[in-house]
Amino acid sequence: ATPTALLVGTGRGAQLGILIKGPEVLESTRRVDTIVLDKTGTVTTGTMTLVEAYATEGTTSEEVLRIAGAVENASEHPIARAIARGAQDRTGRLPAVDDFANLEGLGVRGTVQGRTVLVGRAPLLDEQGIVVPADVVAAQREAVAQGRTAVLVAWDGVARGVLSVADEIRPTSEQAIRQLVALGLTPVLLTGDNRTVAEQVAGQLGIDRVIAEVLPQDKVRVVEELQAEGRVVAMVGDGVNDAAALARADLGLAMGTGTDAAIEAADLTLVRGDLRAAADAIRLSRRTLGTIR
Ligand code: ADP
Ligand code: MG
């Protein structure tokens, strides 16, 4: 394509709410045949809400919430925001946290009122040799069966409760995926969240291929594996944990509602956080490059 055509294409993109890093990006956009979609914050809004707090014998749901909320208050993760907000609403002011640590893709750790607290998913607790009572396991399964993300709360070596958070699928996601499939792309859902929740979301959106329970540092490997299958891979993400995969993909797309790290790593930004703009970008690249060459 001529430089002028590419510039026109880029300008048209801006009108569609697609920010393109450079005119050459249109060429990789045109060749894409597989689109990997991060779940939380990309196909879902990422605005999670606390919906339930379960406490095992010997404690109360208020105490579980207060202690977990105190640690999560130091984290920016959407799950952490939901838990801190929910805890504050239900129990009032949260205690202070010391020695806070963010364990990316797993959860958080901190010291609250002399207790060593862990909040996160099961592998984090396993790794630390935490005892998980049967009723806590059952409460977690129940929450997951309802399509929620269940987070375990442990202190002093024992899991004491389960916090369930829910996230909504963006109203535009289903139509976007239908459009992408109609353009001949294979959608793949990629998430650090558990398999049951991921499959529920994928089912609602008509996505057949699901890769779940992936640690942030392994997202880039998933992109590489798809490329090794001979695919030309687009990746759409919003989080700091998506940045490496966005950079590695043949085409990286960031949600405009996402983090600066994701936007910087991507070739293209969907300004309004509307996934349908990904389909618009592909149509635009095909039109711009198809007609002129
Ligand atoms: P995604 O890939 O869907 O954007 P992440 O990789 O950020 O999700 O997180 C994966 C999983 O790790 C979450 O579903 C949650 O179970 C757990 N997790 C991550 N951060 C936290 C946190 N701050 N508090 C509790 N759980 C967390
Ligand atoms: Mg995300």
Q: Measured in angstroms, how far is the CA atom of residue 24 from the centroid of ligand 2?
A: 27
Is the domain of 72 the same as that of 211?
Answer: no
**pLDDT digit string, tens, across residues 228-265:** 999 999 999 999 999 999 999 999 999 999 999 999 99
Q: Are residues 212 and 180 in the same domain?
A: yes
Mutate to test the pocket of ligand 1, among 77, 83, 191, 201 (most ligand atoms within 8 A of CB): 77
Measured distance between the N- and C-terminal CA atoms of the chain, rounded to whole angstroms: 5
Say yes or no: 111 and 150 in one domain: yes
What span, in angstroms and rounded, lies between the C-alpha atoms of 129 and 108?
A: 15
Judged by DSSP in three states, 237 sits in: strand
- pLDDT higher than threshold 80 for residue 1: no
Mean pLDDT of 205-214: 96
Which residues have a Cβ under 8 Å from the Cβ of 96 and sit 6 or more positions away? Answer: 70, 112
Q: Which ligand is nearest to the CA of 237?
A: 2
Nearest CA to ligand 1 atom 14: 193
The string of pLDDT tens digits covering residues 3-40 is: 888 888 888 888 889 999 988 899 999 999 999 999 99
Residue 3 has what pLDDT? 80
Report the pLDDT value the prediction gives residue 11, as an integer from 0 to 100: 86
Atom of ligand 1 nearest to the CA of 72: 23
Which residue's CA is the nearest one to ligand 1's atom 20? 107
9 and 89 both lie in a single domain: no
Do the beta carbons of residue 231 and residue 33 sit within 8 Å?
yes
* Buried/exposed 239-254: b ≥16 CB within 10 Å, e otherwise: bbbbbbbbbbbbbbbb
Per the annotation, the verdict on 38 as an active-site residue is yes
Neighbours of ion ligand 2 (CB under 5 A): 38, 40-41, 238-239
pLDDT for the residue 293 = 41
What CATH number is associated with residue 124? 3.40.1110.10
Supply the range of the domain harboring residue 112. Answer: 49-166
User: Which of 139, 166, 193 is the last residue in one of the domains?
Assistant: 166
Same domain assignment for residues 135 and 202: no
Residue 101 has a pLDDT of 98
Verify whether ligand 1 is closer than 6 Å to residue 120 (CB atom). Answer: yes
> Is 262's C-beta closer than 6 angstroms to any atom of ligand 1?
no
Residue with tokens 């994928």, as numbered in its chain: 202
**Ligand 1 within 6 A of CB of 119:** yes
Share of the chain above pLDDT 70, in %: 99
Distance CA 145, CA 199 (A): 11
Our answer on whether the CB atom of 40 is closer than 6 Å to any ligand 1 atom is yes
- pLDDT of 292 reads 42
Does residue 80 sit in the same domain as residue 132? yes
- Give nearest CA residue, ligand 1 atom 4: 40
Amino acid 197: pLDDT: 92
104 SS3 class? coil
- Probe target for ligand 1 pocket from 38, 43, 79, 149, with the most ligand atoms within 8 Å of CB: 79
| Tokens describing residue 27 | 């060429």
Total tally of structural domains belonging to the chain:
2
- CA 61 centroid distance within chain: 27
- pTM, 2 dp: 0.83
**Whether residues 173 and 156 fall in one domain:** no
Predicted pLDDT of residue 174: 97
**Any idea what the CATH number is for the domain that residue 263 is in?**
3.40.50.1000
Per the structure block, which two tokens stand in for 172?
A: 């535009």
pLDDT in tens, 129-171: 999 999 999 999 999 988 899 999 999 999 999 999 999 999 9
Count of CB atoms situated within 10 Å of the CB of 39 = 25
Rounded CA-CA distance 223/285 in Å is 22
Residues present in the chain in total? 293
Q: 3-state class of 7 per DSSP? A: helix
Percent of residues in the chain assigned helix, strand, coil, to nearest 5:
45, 25, 30
Nearest-10 crossing angle of helices 134-145, 195-205: 10
Ligand of minimum distance to the alpha carbon of 108: 1
Residues 57 and 158 in one domain: yes
Examine the domain organization and report whether 132 and 90 are in the same domain.
Answer: yes
More confident residue, 105 or 212: 212
Do 162 and 173 fall into the same domain? no
DSSP secondary structure letter of residue 41: I
* Closest C-alpha to 285, from 271, 267, 258: 267
In the prediction, which pLDDT does 5 show?
A: 81
Residue tagged 């129990």 (tokens): 91
Q: Are residues 174 and 277 in the same domain?
A: yes
Q: Kindly provide the ipTM of the predicted complex, given to two decimals.
A: 0.93
Mean pLDDT of the chain: 94
